[in-house]
Structure 1
Amino acid sequence: MKILAIADVESKYLWDYFEKSKLEGIDLIISCGDLDPRYLSFLATFTSAPVLYVHGNHDDKYERIPPEGCICIDDKIYVHEGVRILGLGGSMRYKPGEHQYTEWEMRRRVFKLFPKLVWRRGFDILVTHAPAYQLNDARDLPHQGFKIFLQLIEKYHPKFFLHGHVHMSYGRQHKRYDKYMDTYVINAFDRCVFEFETEDPEKDGQ
């Protein structure tokens, strides 16, 4: 399964210089947040692949301009061709606003998902906006990651953890690829294509 992960900035490669052939072979598109809803709707128009998304901390406009033809997976386990995908959008709370959470509030969201996690026997891909604590995050509160994400990885051992929020343009400490235990970590900033079946997304990714 070939997956296109996107986040934070609208890719000029996919929007300004779009050609339908660029989406050929893509089986699933996953947005990790902070993207123009019209960009997601645009992509959904030109592919038969599902376009999934979680909210970023700047996505309050989705209430007024929803991404047409796309599927919100926040607080859900979405299953595509047998692959279980858990969505937990939002960032650490640093000011009043939508889609921002304290560590305790994010833990409460995860607790409410427990029956679904038991029913689905875990998940294969964790999709968030914020990174995990001390795993490709930053020390300032707005870009600090959540500890509960590490605990989810430690307990359920998903194959992939996709996030956005920390732009790779911020500095070289924010990597595209990482690994925590058995889980491959991908920063979806801009765009990244990978195979779910891969043994090394950094080697095979685009």
Structure 2
Amino acid sequence: MRILAIADEESKYLWDYFEKSKLEGIDLIISCGDLDPRYLSFLATFTSAPVLYVHGNHDTKYAQVPPDGCICIEDKIFVYKGVRILGLGGSMRYHAGDYQYTEWEMKRRVAKLWFQLVRRRGFDILVTHAPAYELNDGRDLPHQGFRIFLTLLEKYKPKFFIHGHVHMAYGRKHKRYDKYQETHVINAFERCVFDFEDDNVKDHI
């Protein structure tokens, strides 16, 4: 299964200079947040692949302008072609606002998933907006990751963990790819294409 992961910055390659052929061979599109909902709707129009998304901390406009033809996977395990995908959007709370959570609030969200996790026997891909704590995150509070994400990776050992939020254009040495125990970690900033079955993860765009 070939997956297009996107986050944080609309890709000119896919929007301004779009050609339908650029989505050929893509089986699934996953947004990790902080993207214009019209961008997601645009991509959904030109592909038969499902477009899944979680919210970023700047996605308050989604309440008024939800991305048409797309599927929100917040706080649920979405199964596509046998692949179990868990979505947990939002960032660390740094001021009042939607899609921002304290560590305790994120732990509470995860606790409420216990029945789905038991029923689905875990998950294969964790999709979040924020990174995990001290795993490609920032040390400032707005870009700090969640410790509970590490707990999920350690307990369920998914094949992939896809996040956004820490822009590779920030000047920090944020990695596109990393690994935590048995899980491949991907920073989806702008765009990244990978194969779910590939054990040697590399960008196909």
Per the TM superposition, whether the score is higher than 0.5 is yes
Secondary structure, aligned partner of 2:108: helix
Residue 170 of structure 1: CA displacement?
Answer: 1.1
Query: What code does the residue aligned with 1:85 have?
Result: I
Q: Which residue does 2:116 correspond to in 1?
A: 116
Give the aligned residue type for 1:166. Answer: V
Distance (whole Å) between structure 1 residues aligned to residue 172 and residue 98 of structure 2: 29
Aligned to 2:48: 48
1:118-172: CA deviation from partner (whole Å, max 9, x where unpaired) = 0000000000000000000010000000000000000000000000000001124
Unpaired runs of at least 5, structure 1: none
For 1:170 and 1:76, how far apart are their aligned partners in 2? 31
Structure 2 residue aligned with 1:61 = 61
In 2, the alpha carbon distance for the partners of 1:148 and 1:205 equals 30
Name the counterpart of 1:130: 130
Residue aligning to 1:173: 173
Match for residue 2 of structure 2?
2
Equivalent residue runs for 1:119-198 within 5 Å: 119-198=119-198
SS class of match (1:191)? strand
- Displacement of 1:3 after TM fit? 0.1
Identity of aligned residues (%): 80
1:173 Cα deviation from its structure 2 partner: 1.7
Aligned mates of 1:200, 1:35 — CA distance in 2: 28
Rounded Cα–Cα distance in structure 2 between residues aligned with 1:100 and 1:147? 15
Task: Tell me how far apart the structure 1 counterparts of residues 26 and 92 of structure 2 sit (CA, whole Å).
Answer: 31
Separation in 2, partners of 1:182, 1:171: 28
Aligned residues: 205
Distance 2:31 2:66 in 1: 14
2:99 alignment partner in structure 1: 99
Letter in 1 for 2:97: G
Q: Aligned AA for 2:128?
A: T
Look up the match of 2:28: 28
Task: Work out the CA distance in 2 between the residues paired with 1:132 and 1:26.
Answer: 27
Report the TM-score when normalising by structure 2. 0.99
Work out the CA distance in 2 between the residues paired with 1:198 and 1:166.
24
What is the RMSD computed on CA atoms of the aligned residues? 0.7
* Secondary structure of the structure 2 residue equivalent to 1:201: coil
- For the residue of structure 1 that corresponds to 2:184, the secondary structure is strand
Structure 2 residues not aligned, in runs of 5+: none
